[in-house]
Structure 1
Amino acid sequence: MSHRTTSSVFGTLLGYAPGGVAAYSCDYESASDAQYPKRSAFRSYLDGIYMGYKWQCVEFARRWIYLNHGYIFDDISMAYDIFQLRSVRDVVTNSRLPLQAFANGSKSPPQPGSLLIWDQGGEFSETGHVAIVTEVFADKLRVAEQNLDHEIWPEGCNYSRELPATTTQEGEYWLQCSFNDATILGWMTQTDNSLYAQPTIATDKQLFALRSRYAKAQVDPQKSWLNVANEDEAAYVKAMHGDKLSAVSADQYRYYTLSETAQLTLQRATNELHGLFMHATDYVLENPALLDKFNLPRAILGKIRQSWDNRLNQLITSRFDFSMTPQGLKVYEYNCDSASCYMESAKIQGKWAHHYGVHEGQDSGKDLFNNLVNAWRKSQAKGLVHILHDCDPEEIYHALFIQQTLKSAGIASKMVSGISSLKWDPQGNILDVQGESIHWVWKTWSWETALDQIRSECEADQALGEHYEPAWERGQTPRLADILLHKNIMIFEPLWTLIPSNKAILPVLWSLFPNHPLLLQADFELNADLQASGYVTKPIVGRCGANIQLVDQDQDIIEATGGGFAAQEQIYQALFPLPLVDGYYVQVCTFTAAGKYAGSCLRVDASMIISKESDCMALRFVNDEALLSQQAVIN
């Protein structure tokens, strides 16, 4: 609006919307470091309910409808995703209320309190935008919002701006956007009346069914198809004892398919769940009683908080594990720390498909390598990155694959097998065998491996408090914990990934987002609901499917694994079995690069529990119509 001339600093009161709900400036560049010293200070809560980031458009919209109506919409990745929602949650009753979407030009005009939604693009390039409708006229509409221009609203107005509107003779209500390069999708209204609303198209459940397929037999099945001149591929061939994707000879021709709709669902779920896990991580770090349940050494809690405040956006790799069936999509857990299977997804399955002549659909990991390269380019790693790995064959090829992504990102790296060649220098820095200081590290070891080395000494010395620092002696070999917790060494993945990777996060998520469609009920204690549904016991810290027990509705153990994590505290999660497809239980995994969806893969096993020995198999995303027509022929 032309009469606005003054941009306000972050947090300035801009005005009050109907109901007395305040709107604030979201000019992040002017935010005070003293008032907002860490990232968690930017998170907005009301009555213990997370509203969003201060003072973004989504935060205002959620806070306004909560204060005025007592319900909230689900967490979304971007503001434009709100247009896909079809319900809101009444906070008091924990029930779902219908939310109708009306496209711009609908014969059902917006109402005061409707959510006005902009698509991504132009002025709202990546995020879209949301505003609250305050008044509706035949020729204009007024809205209240945050994170547009950071300017104080006109005096005496309970809205931020007006949008021109046109009502046609047919009764269509059209809004004109203030920006030539932005698009108004429409408005969302909480009502039972669906007349003129966007239809909720029921997705055929068969689009979420995994299917087993087979490539054509090869004339020369022993022919090599991986290039052993490449170090990572040579290491993979050595680990697998040949050019193969599956360790089972009978499965060399087998692959699986999912629909493009399933792919889009996995992408949206991954991005949304990453946000939920990050919110839960912040919530845990702000609640000492919850943090105690994660069984972390007290001496490193300060470092974890510092890592969270300083390195929230420094995640490179992470992996979600899902069960996808026609009955729904549910996440089991989030592997933020030292996630595996990247090379199998990004490189091996694509070469397998080329060799075996599989052209059906698209390779589920085709963009993963480039997404990782872009994540490294955006990271703070500017100098030499030391890649620390163990002598495990899988870790070796995984580390060599990551080295290729670093090389493509223009970042120099050096492989370090084990840590016996590393030494302390006189100043307390850690040097490699050539005498170069270590400042940036990517590792295959989990953080928990390092924590095991310091738990006993931290527990014995209560004076350490939350201020653990490695002890060092010139010329001596540092321990893994000394390297990973060194104040002058930046580790990928960051220390804060200990929180979302710990299974104790699962009950926290369920308490924060009860009945969320992507989550399984989880609790720190076994309760009647879990017993009635069947449940899974998991150690809060564990790897590769170790020490897991599946219990059915009759309280009979239907599957269990051993391992080295039996002494860990446990959580209980609702039983939602993997689909059994052509003799294998199949788990869908999605990868992130810098916290965003980057690709997918499959893990399969004759057991209901996926473990370190479970095979990876190729996954192809197939056009919906083609997949359904194949199914019709089969039937």
Structure 2
Amino acid sequence: MERRTIEPRPDWQRTVEDQGLIYPLTRYPDDSLRPYWDESAYYVFSLEEVEALEEVVEELHGMCLAAAGHIVATGRLADLGITDPRVAAAVTEAWHRRAELPSVYGRFDLRYDGTGPAKMLEYNADTPTSLVEAASPQWFWMEERFPGADQWNSLHERLIDAWKRQADLLPPGGPLYFAHSVADKLGEDLMTVAYLKETAEQAGLETDWISVEEIGWDPLSGRFVDNKLKFIRSCFKLYPWEWITEDRFAGHVFDTLDNGGGTGSTLWIEPAWKMLLSNKALLAVLWELYPGHPNLLPAYLDGPRDLARTTGWVAKPLLGREGAGVTIHEPGTDPTPRDEPCCYQELAPLPAFDGNHVVLGTWVVEDEAAGLGIRESSGLITDEYARFLPHVIL
């Protein structure tokens, strides 16, 4: 793994916009615009590194599924903050019926510097973003700048194949809707949903658009409907389940939830059992089940324990995006009480390449490793000001 600098292509901004990345720049607090898509540098991997990372990702995915099964079997949903009986019942049923429910993709965030084992930082298997830039613009960048090279990137093909394989799990009678929230002013959710909709169409599925805010409830039929009062039988939503559970329509969601049993009315993708994988409490359960595993970091739910005096720790809210609420604590620091439940994970500072802190976003489609997206940040927390850099296998 190596970081190399390179001259950006002329008119690179328009190029990546044409390839689907609609926000190539990030606005900073001082009102300046700086590249989010940063092709002034790139990362190089050997084929052996990538093959080893693929094995790690698929092993971690299998371990996460085993941990989810353990949480359900031992009745530990409350450790994830899932205390509402209706939500717990929906997650449990979805887990038991998971073979009947479409489930498409997820993203592991890994710490890796090319010299030691990759370490799992978290798993977003419900609403992961940064998909478009990983699948499309960086592939075309490689073809233009390094023709004949390779890249860890089979995302597009695997997504199309996943929709084809899971088409029979979709209920008949109506399109598969793709929903995003208009509250996302950046456009990241819209861009991600648009790309996934495109892959579903290329797989031969009938699709349609809707925003989450446009989804209506018809009290006469007891169904969710679109803005033309058409029944929504299935919907991919880039909207976290934890938000759905707090929504004023949550009761209707669980009353009409199609968990694959044929008795509900609306099937949601990703399914409710993905709440088990996108919760930071999973990190602590993994460490309980696989203590000392080379690709895991010690993690606990009841406090930092001995991490406070040895390595330091990172406190992560059980739910959150873009590093929100994450705090870093050096060894010897007294534990600070938190208002919300947290996972306390060993401090493993992100490696720095030319002063840039790097996290690997490794993608899973269905159960297989499918690609890599790299983000850099100025600090140790990968936040909304992180930059995306392409990579190549040489």
Flag as ranges the 4+ runs of structure 1 deviating above 6 A.
480-486
Say which SS state the counterpart of residue 419 (structure 1) adopts: helix
Largest Rg, 1 or 2: 1
Equivalent pair of 1:345/1:364 in contact (CA under 8 Å): no
Q: 1:504 to 1:425 in 2, by over 3 A?
A: same
Q: Distance in 2 between matches of 1:430 and 1:556?
A: 50
2:241 — aligned with what?
Answer: 447
Deviation at residue 382 of structure 1 after TM alignment? 5.6
Report the equivalent of 2:29: none
CA distance 1:277–1:251, change in 2 (3 Å) = closer
Aligned to 1:320: 108
1:584 to 330, 342, 356: 356
Once the two structures are TM-superposed, the CA of residue 418 in structure 1 deviates from its matched residue by 3.3
Cα gap change, 1:423 to 1:544, in 2 (>3 Å): same
Following the alignment from structure 2 to structure 1, what is the Cα–Cα distance between the partners of residues 215 and 189?
Answer: 18
**Structure 1: unaligned runs, 5 residues or longer:** 1-209, 458-467, 471-479, 561-565, 623-635
Q: How far does residue 574 in structure 1 lie from its aligned partner after superposition?
A: 0.8
Amino acid at match of 1:283: H
- RCO greater where, 1 or 2, for CA within 8 Å and sep 6 or more? 2
Give the direction of change, closer, same or farther, for the CA distance of 1:251–1:343 in structure 2 (3 Å limit): closer
Equivalent position of 1:435 in the other structure: 229
- TM-score if structure 2 supplies the norm length? 0.86
Task: Tell me what 1:511 maps to.
Answer: 288
1:292 is aligned to: 78
Given that residues 361 and 620 in structure 1 are in contact (C-alpha distance below 8 angstroms), is that contact kept between their aligned partners in structure 2? yes
Q: CA deviation at 1:585?
A: 0.3
Task: Provide the secondary structure at the position in 1 that maps to 2:229.
Answer: coil
Query: Could you tell me which residue of structure 2 aligns to residue 362 of structure 1?
Result: 150
Q: State which drifts further: 299-308 or 612-621.
A: 612-621
1:496 and 1:315 mapped to 2: Cα distance?
Answer: 10
Query: What is the rounded CA distance, in whole Å, between the counterparts of 2:188 and 2:36 in structure 1?
Result: 19
> How many angstroms apart in 2 are the aligned matches of 1:431 and 1:613?
37
The one-letter amino acid paired with 2:127 is S
Q: Deviations over 1:388-425 (max 9, x none)?
A: 10122111111110011101111111111232353416
Q: Does residue 1:212 correspond to 2:3, yes or no?
A: yes
Q: Residues 107 and 123 of structure 2 are in contact (CA less than 8 Å); yes or no, is this contact kept in structure 1?
A: yes
Alignment of 1:5-24 (within 5 A): none
Distance 1:408 1:402 in 2: 10
CA contact (8 A) 1:389 1:416 kept: yes
- Match in the other structure for 1:547: 325
Task: Tell me the C-alpha RMSD between the 2 structures.
Answer: 2.7
Aligned residues: 372
| Cα distance in structure 2, aligned partners of 1:249 and 1:601 | 13
Paired residues of 2:323 and 2:381 also in contact (CA < 8 A): yes
Query: Residue 261 of structure 1 aligns with which residue?
Result: 48
Shift of 1:485: 7.8
Q: What is the one-letter code of the residue matched to 2:373?
A: C
Q: Which amino acid aligns with 1:399?
A: V
Correspondences of 1:439-518 after superposition (within 5 Å): 439-453=233-247, 469-470=251-252, 487-518=264-295
CA deviations over 1:336-385 (Å, ceiling 9, x no partner): 11111111111011123344x234742222x1111011111111126411
User: Shift of residue 448 of structure 1?
Assistant: 1.1
Cα deviations by residue, 1:459-513 (Å, 9 ceiling, x for unpaired): xxxxxxxxx842xxxxxxxxx8888789311111110010111111111111111
Separation of aligned partners in 2, 1:250 and 1:598: 21
Normalising by structure 1, report the TM-score: 0.55
Q: Is the 8 A contact 1:538 1:548 kept in 2?
A: yes
Task: For 1:329 and 1:241, locate their aligned partners in 2 and report how far apart those are by CA, in whole Å.
Answer: 29
Shift of 1:582: 1.3
Counterpart AA for 1:317: Y
Q: Give the alignment partner of residue 344 of structure 1, picking from 118, 133, 148.
A: 133
The 1:532/1:375 distance shift into structure 2, 3 A limit, reads same
* Map of 1:310 onto structure 2: 97
Q: 1:279 to 1:526 in 2, by over 3 A?
A: same
Give the distance between the partners of 1:408 and 1:370, measured in 2 at CA.
Answer: 10
Q: CA deviation at 1:567?
A: 4.1
- Equivalents in 2 of 1:598, 1:264: separation in Å? 11
Counterpart selection for 2:123 from 334, 356, 375: 334
Amino acid at match of 1:390: S
Residue 363 of structure 1 aligns to a residue in which SS?
coil
Deviation at 1:435, TM superposition (A): 3.2
Contact 2:142 2:149 in 1 (8 A): no
Q: Percent identity?
A: 23
Contact residue 108 and residue 361 of structure 2 kept, 8 A: yes
Distance 2:300 2:130 in 1: 29
User: Matched residues in 1 for 2:225 and 2:34: separation?
Assistant: 39
Q: In the aligned structure 2, how far is the partner of 1:241 from the partner of 1:217?
A: 14
Distance 1:403 1:521 in 2: 38
**Aligned amino acid, residue 517 of structure 1:** P
**How far off is 1:328 after superposition?**
2.4
**Any conservation in 2 of the 1:536–1:572 contact (CA below 8 Å)?**
yes
Q: Partner letter of residue 103 of structure 2? A: L
1:615 is displaced (CA, Å) by 1.5
1:278 CA displacement: 0.6
The equivalences for 1:119-134 within 5 A come to: none
Deviation of 1:451 (Å): 1.7
For residues 384 and 205 of structure 2, what CA distance do their matches in structure 1 show? 30
Q: CA deviation at 1:436?
A: 2.4
1:248 lines up with 2:20 in the alignment: no
